[in-house]
Chains A and B, each alone.
Chain A
Amino acid sequence: MALWKLNPMDFTKMNPTRQAKIEAAPAKKLPELRTYVPNQIAAALHPEVQYLKVIKIEEEAGNCKRYYLGPNADKGTDSLAWFSAGQYLSISLEIGQAKLTRPYSIASSPRDALNGFYMLTIQRVEGGLASQYIHDNWAVGTEITASAPLGNFTYEPLRDAKTIVAVVGGSSITPFRAMAKSIAEGDEDAELVLIYGSRTLEDTMFQSELKALEESCGKFRFVNVFSDEQREGYEHGFITADIIRKYAPEGEYSLFVCGPQVMRKFVDKEIETLGLRRKFIRQELFGEYFGPAKEADYPQNVASEFQLTVRQTGKEYTLTAPADQSILRTLEAAGIAAPSHCRSGECGWCHSRLVSGEIYTPKSVDGRREADLIYGYIHPCCSFPVSDLVIEVSPL
C-alpha cells in the first residue's frame, strides 16, 4: 500500500479551488438555447408547431386538390422544416365544435420545402368529415396549423435494399411523388420502381409529371396498373405477385406498400408468395381503424354506448361514448382538444392513462409499449370502450 504518497490535505484544497473558479466567472445572463448548435438543428427539424398558409390550389385527378402551403411568418413560422420523403404532416382542424387532426403525406419534395412550400394532395372522400371540410373551405390565404414532419415510412440506406419497389393504390401515391422527386433531386441515393394501381388513366394522379420524371431520371421507373380499363402499353388488373416480379430488379429489393385497406388485403396475399424477408417489406401506416365488432377477439354482449369521464389538467368532463367509435373521435366530437398525429395506433402521441374501465384495441393496430399494458395506458385513436371509462388525457 503506497497510498501515503498522496497528500490527504489536498482534499481541503478542493473547496477553495472551486470557489475561486466560480468567483472568476462572470455573473452575466446565460445564453439562450437557440445559441447552441444541436438545439438550433433540433428546432429547425422538429418545430413544435408549424404555422402555414395556403398559397396555391390546383385541381388534380381522382377528385383531388393540390394544396400548396407556405410558412405563415405573421404567426412566427419563417421557414419550413426539412423532412424525409414519405413523412406526413398532422393538420389541426376545427370543424363546428369538433377539434381534430388528420395526417396527410407530403407530396412535394424536401427540396421544395427549402424553396418555401409543402404540397398536400387531398382527395374528397364521400362522408369524410375532414376532406370535405378542406375541399369546401380552404382557399388561398387560409391559415393552417400543422405539426413538424412525422413518420417512419422513409427510405433508410443502412436498412433497405438499394432499389425500392413501391406498390401503391389510389390517392396513396402522395409519399412516392415526394420520394421520386427526392431521388431525382439527389437527396436520396436509391432507385425507385413505382407500381401504381388506379382505376383508369383518367383517375391517375400526377400521371404526366411522373411520366416526365421517368424520362429524365434514370433511377425512377413508373408502371401503371389499371383495374377498370385495358390500354395498350399499360398493365391491367390488380397488382399481383407476377406484376411485382416482372418489374422488380434481379436480387434484393425493398417492397414499400401503401394503399387503401381493401387493396392491402389483396396485395398482402400476393406478397406472401414472393418469399421476401420481413425486413424487405415495409407498410405505410394502416390508417384509421373502424368497426371493431368484426374482430374475432372483440368481447361479447357489449352495450352500444358508455359513459366516458375525461380528466385533463385538473378539469373533468363527462361524455357519452359510442362503443363503435374510437375514444379519440368521441373526444374530438365533444370539442376536447386531445393530442393525436398518426391516428393509426403507431406514433403514441395520444398516449393516455386509463384510470378505470375496459377498452378494446385491435391487435393489428396496437402500437403500445410493453409497460403500457402493465400500467394501463391506451392509445385513444384505436381504443374502443367496452365499459364505462375514466381516462386522463394530455392537453395539446
Chain B
Amino acid sequence: MDKFDVIVVGAGNGGLAAAANTAKAGLKTLLLEKHNIPGGCATSFRRGRFEFEPSLHELCSVGTAQRPDQVYKVFDDLGAKPKWCYETGHLFRAVVKGEDGYDVRLEAGIEAFCDSVEAAVPGSRKSVKAFVDLKPKIDAAIAYIYEMKGQPKGLTMLLKHSDFMRVAGHSVEEVMDALGMPKKAQNMINTYWGYLGVPTDELNCMHFLNMLYGYMVDGAAMPQHRSHELSLSLVDVIVKHGGQVWYNSEVTEFLYNDDGSVAGVVANGEKLYAREVISNVIPNNVFNMSPQSVIPEQNLKLANARDFGISVATIYLGLDCTAEELGMEDYTIFIMGHPDPRTQYNTRAEDGLYIVNCLNNVVPDSSPEGTCTLFFTMPIFGSDVPKDLKPEDYKKYKNEIAKKYIEDAEKTLGISIMPHIEEISVATPVTFARYLGTPEGTIYGYKLSGWDNLMARIAGEKADYAIPGLSFCGGHYIRGDGYSCAYIMGDTVAKKVIKRLKGDA
C-alpha cells in the first residue's frame, strides 16, 4: 500500500470534518473507522417503522445560508449539503419539580430571551442583558489574541479586554453573581449545563456564553434525516475528492519513526503509513496502542490527571400517536428535581436533570404519519453504573431506568406515554462504551473541570499534544464535546495539517 498523506483514525464528527478537509485539499486521505457506518454518536438506528436520532439534541452555531455561522460554514465550504431544519419559537422549556419549582419557556433571539427571563423573574432583565452583552467583548478579545498569534500584550489585555479576562477566568455563576443576577434567573439560564456535563459553579463562563449565544442568536438546527445524514454528507465530500473511507477497520496499533514522530497505524492486521495522523480516538486509547517510550511525559501525566467527561443514559421511544395527541408542544424540555445545577449534578443518578425531546416538533415527518418519537437523555457518568451489575441483569437495569423516567415525565408533564410505546430502545454508558470504545463510555472526552477548562486547554495546546505528526480532534480535544465543537475542531486541526504538508511539499 502506498503511503498516505493523512490517515484519520475514527469517523466521528471530528474525524469526518478533518478527513473531508484534507481530501478536499488534495491530500491523499484514508479515514479508518472500526464500525460499519460513520459518525460515532452521529448516526441513526431503525426499529420497526421508526428511524431514531441517537444523540443530537440541537446543533448550535449553525445559522442559515443568509446568515451562516461557524458550523454552516464548515459544511458549506466543504460542499456538504445536509438539509437543515430549524427550531422555531422558544429555545427550551424548563420544568423544576417541587415547591420552589417553576415551568418556563425561554425564547430565542437576544431581546426575546431577556424578556422571557424577566417575565419569569421580574427585575432580572438588566443583569441578564449585561451577561449576554459580554459575548461581543469576548469576541473582540479573541480577535485581538489571534491577531497577536496567541501572544497578546498583557497591558493591552488589561486595559482593553479586562472584561474578557474576568469572564474567561471565572465560572458562569461567579460572573452572574457579580452582575447581580437573581439566583432563580441564573438557574433558568444555566439549565444548559446539561449539554456540557459540568455544573455552572465550575464551568468556565466564556465556554458557556459561547454555547448560549450560539443557541440564542441562531436558534438550534437539526438535520432533516437524523445525524446519519450529517455523517454521510461528509463521507460524500471525502470520496468525491478521492479519499478513502474503510469501515470495520479498527486501528490496533500506532506506529512511530525512530525520532518519535508518528509513522502510521495498523488496521486489519496491515501496516498503513502516512505523513501525518489525525486521531479522533481519545489519547488514553492512543497511548495504550503506542510504545510508552514515545509518549511525552507531560502528555501522559495530563491523561492521568484528567477525569472522564459525562456519559448519558438515553431512552428512544416510537409512539403510535402524534405529538399533538400526546400533548407535546415543545421540542426540548428539561425536567429537574432541584432548581440549582450543582444539586442537579449531584443527584444526577436519581432525578437531577433529564431532557425530553420530541423531534417531530422540528422535523415533522421524522416519523411516519400518526406517530411521533420521544428521546430522553439523562446525563450520568460511566462510573455511575453499579459496579456489581451483572451482564444478565443489564436488561432489567435498563428497563428500570426507562420506567422511572417515563413515569416521571408522564407525571410532571401531565401526559400519557406508556400506552403508546410501539418501539423502545434504551442506552446507557455501557452502550456508549460499546459503540465509541471510550473509557467508561464517556461521550464528552475529558471532563471540562475547573482546572481543565476550555481557556486553560487552549493555552496548553502546544505542550499537551506534543507527538510530532500526531494531531487530535473530537470530544476529548480542547473544546469538549458537542457536535458543533467537534466539527469546528476537526476543521481547524485539519487546516493546520494541510498547511504543514502543503508547505513542505
Contact = CB atoms under 8 A, between A and B. Distances in A.
Contact of B248 (A5, A156, A394): A394
A228 interface: no
A1 B431 contact: no
Given A30-B287, A38-B429, A371 B169 contact: no
A230 B420 CA distance: 41
A277 B165 contact: no
B451 A37 contact: no
Interface stretch (B66-74, B297-305, B333-341, B491-499): B297-305
B301 A348 contact: no
Contact of B430 (A13, A26, A45): A45
A13 B169 contact: yes
Interface in A294-346: 313-314, 339, 346
A152 B47 contact: yes
B320 A278 contact: yes
Contact of A313 (B233, B246, B301): B246
A42 interface: yes
A346 B431 CA distance: 20
Contacts of A157: 399
Given A3-B179, A348-B37, A395-B268, A313 B249 contact: yes
Interface in A7-54: 7-15, 17-19, 21-33, 36-39, 41-42, 44-46
- Please classify the interface of chain B as helix (H, G, I), strand (E, B), loop, or mixed, using the class held by over half of its residues: helix
Contacts of A351: 36-37, 247
Interface string B1-33: 100000000000000000000000000000000
| Residue of B437, B440, B456 with highest tally of chain A CB at under 10 A | B456
A36 B433 CA distance: 9
Nearest to B464: A22
Most B CB within 10 A of own CB, among A7, A8, A187, A278? A8
Contact of B247 (A10, A355, A394): A394
A5 B383 contact: no
A41 B162 contact: no
B225 A10 contact: no
Contact of A38 (B37, B232, B248, B385): B385
19 contacts: A8-B163, A10-B165, A11-B166, A14-B456, A14-B459, A17-B451, A18-B452, A21-B305, A21-B452, A23-B301, A30-B287, A30-B303, A33-B439, A37-B382, A45-B391, A82-B392, A278-B320, A313-B246, A314-B1
Interface of A: 1-3, 5-15, 17-19, 21-33, 36-39, 41-42, 44-46, 81-82, 84, 110, 114, 152, 156-159, 187, 277-279, 313-314, 339, 346, 348-349, 351, 353, 355, 367, 369-372, 374-375, 377, 394-396
Given A31-B439, A159-B421, 9 more contacts: A3-B179, A6-B178, A7-B166, A38-B385, A39-B439, A279-B320, A313-B268, A353-B239, A396-B248
Interface of B: 1, 36-37, 44, 46-47, 51, 130, 134, 158, 162-163, 165-166, 168-170, 174-175, 178-180, 225-226, 228-229, 232-233, 235-236, 239, 244, 246-249, 268, 270, 284-285, 287-288, 292, 297-298, 300-305, 311, 320, 382-383, 385-387, 389, 391-392, 394-395, 399, 402-403, 406, 418, 420-424, 428-434, 437, 439-441, 451-453, 455-456, 459-460
